[in-house]
């Protein structure tokens, strides 16, 4: 047999039997989604992502996702290279619950461009079993309640007999203990496998009691498991502001770590430190968690925008799906460890029968606790994405008759019918808005910088493009203060605290340079004393403390 001597001119050649992979092109948006439709506070777009569930396109071999651009030297053309995706990752993870993500919808989310609204995990992806009433697969229903009366009715009808419920809270970022429950517990979220309830306490009528009897009963029942991340902290708020002494609360981080480290045998890593909901969703449900825009500084005292609704509903629903998925994985372990105890019992995590690890609660810095429960900002929602939501949302009216029909988000939910609301108008959702177009040249320059910055980093930035863009606009334009940036980025304007948070987060997380005097005068001056002591802003306050004497010196010199 003849042998050949390798030469540099040959390069490196891998032997193989020929490439028989079936590579599919990326589907055009028009192939996947219906055309965008206008949204208003009482209108909805109809077409949903369920179109994908009926798409019978086969998957064979490796699949090509959206191409990525390979940077070249200045003056050279940019070359697009396809990203090959392992087909094994295009199947949704197993859940024992009846509501599941259809395989084609999961595949579309995995292949969507990174960072787009279609690429995230949310409750919208799930479909229930076929039924005569709902057709091929029912959607997860969302009930939005703005009074004690509607809260009680929804809990009685749909949630009081559930064994496991996802749970979460939202509150004002600047809430102080003296401001009462509407600021400190603005929104309560509960989720079952088929339904999600949003109780907007901040919008309850002025003279309304804030605690529905069935809500108190559910939260205090040790036989109904309420699960979530940082759930003890949330339930402490319930006790302090609403007088609800929660029992049967379950920390998802404990089950996540039990399954993960029992499987790997790394028992030394098993502890009670919190793991963020977004990390658990990405690892266990295999898609990044939906992150609504401006969620950390959202004004929860106003009717929810669609993005806020999807975000808050998805957080609670993620807890239900994670609990079911992780518990299924726990039961497959050999030997099978028991479930962690309810969090209020403060007991160690058990590994297996007769084996106990010393995992009593460990004291954490406030930053560590809040980082684990932190809410990250996400992209603005496309009309196509919003179109997947409409008829799954029920805005609960005050009257009790014909609840399902009268609670529909859109008056055109059923062709030819107009629901009536006898006693009171239903709650409304605020309109989602898009950035102004055409873009200001300063925005375009900032976005170009963001793209270049992200491309040159050896690690993924700790903050998103929105924060980096706001920072760049402020840093490079001395005439742009946060209020002006808020108006520049969106019409109607972003909330000013949102821009303040973006700028401070970008500087703190990325170590970006900044003018201390401008930071103190234009950004930190907008924060309350309480927020200036918050860990998110404390670094900047301390860093800018030396700028104040210099500013006074300059003012004195100018006066002379």
DSSP assignment of 412-477, as one string? TSSTT-----SSSPPP-PBPP----SSPPHHHHHHHHHHHHHHHH-SS--SS-HHHHHHHHHHHH-
Cross-strand partners of 169? 188
Residue ranges of E strands in 255-337? none
CA–CA dist 167, 312 (Å, integer): 10
Q: Is the pLDDT of residue 523 over 80?
A: yes
Residue 531 CB coordination number (10 Å): 20
Stretch among 259-263, 298-302, 413-417 having the lowest mean pLDDT: 413-417
What is the per-residue pLDDT across 62-97, written as a single tens digit (0 to 9) for each? 444 554 444 444 444 444 444 456 666 789 999 999
CA angle 196, 197, 199 (to 5 degrees): 155
Between the alpha carbon of residue 11 and those of residues 5, 214, 338, the distances in Å are 12, 72, 56
Confidence of residue 30 (pLDDT cuts 50, 70, 90): very low
Asked if omega into 438 is within 30° of 0 (cis), the reply is: yes
Peptide bond into 314 cis (omega under 30): no
3-state secondary structure of 481: coil
CB within 8 A of 549, min separation 6: which ones? none
Arithmetic mean of pLDDT, 167-171:
95
Contact 381, 368 (CB under 8 A): no
Cα separation, 67 vs 58, in Å, equals: 20
- 195 CB-near residues (< 8 Å, 6+ apart): 140, 141, 142, 143, 158, 159
Q: Would you give the end-to-end CA distance of the chain in angstroms?
A: 96
User: What number is the average pLDDT over the span 293-315?
Assistant: 81
- Hey, which of 10-24, 310-324, 512-526 has the most confident mean pLDDT? 310-324
Residues 320, 98 contacting (CB under 8 angstroms): no
Task: Give the CA distances from residue 131 to residues 60, 128, 135, 142, in Å, rounded to whole numbers and listed in that order.
Answer: 31, 9, 5, 19
Binned at pLDDT 50, 70 and 90, residue 49 comes out as very low
Answer whether the bond into residue 335 is a cis peptide, omega within 30°.
yes
CB contact at 8 A, 255 and 339? yes
Find, among 258, 328, 315, 325, the residue nearest to 285 by Cα: 325
Residue from 498, 489, 507, 555 nearest 527 by CA: 498
| Residue 177 confidence (pLDDT) | 84
């Amino acid at each position: 047999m003849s042998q050949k001597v390798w030469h540099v001119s040959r390069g490196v050649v891998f032997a193989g039997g020929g490439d028989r992979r079936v590579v599919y092109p990326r589907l055009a948006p028009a192939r996947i989604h219906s055309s965008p439709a206008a949204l208003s506070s009482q209108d909805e777009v109809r077409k949903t992502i369920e179109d994908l569930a009926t798409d019978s396109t086969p998957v064979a071999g490796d699949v090509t996702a959206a191409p990525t651009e390979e940077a070249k030297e200045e003056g050279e053309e940019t070359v697009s290279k396809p990203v090959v995706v392992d087909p094994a990752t295009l199947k949704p993870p197993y859940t024992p619950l009846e509501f599941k993500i259809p395989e084609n919808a999961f595949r579309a989310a995995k292949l969507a461009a990174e960072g787009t609204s279609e690429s995230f995990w949310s409750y919208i992806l799930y479909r229930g079993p076929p039924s005569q009433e709902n057709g091929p697969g029912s959607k997860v229903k969302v009930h939005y309640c703005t009074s004690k009366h509607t809260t009680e009715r929804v809990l009685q009808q749909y949630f009081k007999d559930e064994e496991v419920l996802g749970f979460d809270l939202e509150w004002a970022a600047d809430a102080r203990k003296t401001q009462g429950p509407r600021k400190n517990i603005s929104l309560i979220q509960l989720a079952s496998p088929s339904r999600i309830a949003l109780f907007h306490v901040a919008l309850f009528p002025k003279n309304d009691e804030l605690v529905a009897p069935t809500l108190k009963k559910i939260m205090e029942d040790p036989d109904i498991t309420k699960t979530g991340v940082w759930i003890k902290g949330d339930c402490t708020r319930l006790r302090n502001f609403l007088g609800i002494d929660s029992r049967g609360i379950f920390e998802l981080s404990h089950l996540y770590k039990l399954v993960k480290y029992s499987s790997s045998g790394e028992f030394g890593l098993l502890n009670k430190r919190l793991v963020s909901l977004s990390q658990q969703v990405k690892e266990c449900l295999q898609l990044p968690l939906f992150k609504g825009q401006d969620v950390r500084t959202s004004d929860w005292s106003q009717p929810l925008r669609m993005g806020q609704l999807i975000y808050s509903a998805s957080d609670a629903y993620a807890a239900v799906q994670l609990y079911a998925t992780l518990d299924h994985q726990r039961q497959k372990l050999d030997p099978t460890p028991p479930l962690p105890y309810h969090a209020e019992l403060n007991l160690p995590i058990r590994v297996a029968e007769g084996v106990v690890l010393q995992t009593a609660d460990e004291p954490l810095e406030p930053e560590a606790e809040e980082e684990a429960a932190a809410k990250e900002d996400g992209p603005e929602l496309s009309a196509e994405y919003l179109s997947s939501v409409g008829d799954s949302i029920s805005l609960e009216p005050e009257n009790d008759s014909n609840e399902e029909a009268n609670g529909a988000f859109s008056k055109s939910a059923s062709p030819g019918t107009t629901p009536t609301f006898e006693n009171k108008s239903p709650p409304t959702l605020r309109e989602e808005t898009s950035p102004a177009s055409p873009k200001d040249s300063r925005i375009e320059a900032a976005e170009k910088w963001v793209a270049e910055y992200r491309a040159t980093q050896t690690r993924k930035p700790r903050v998103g493009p929105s924060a980096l863009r706001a920072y760049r606009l402020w840093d490079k334009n001395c005439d742009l203060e946060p209020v002006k940036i808020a108006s520049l980025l969106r019409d109607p304007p972003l909330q000013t605290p949102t821009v303040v948070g973006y700028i401070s987060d970008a500087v703190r997380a990325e170590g970006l340079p900044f003018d201390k005097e401008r930071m103190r005068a234009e950004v930190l001056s907008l924060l309350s004393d309480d927020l200036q002591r918050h860990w998110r802003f404390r670094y900047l306050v301390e860093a800018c403390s030396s700028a104040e004497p210099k500013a006074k010196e300059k003012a004195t010199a100018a006066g002379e």
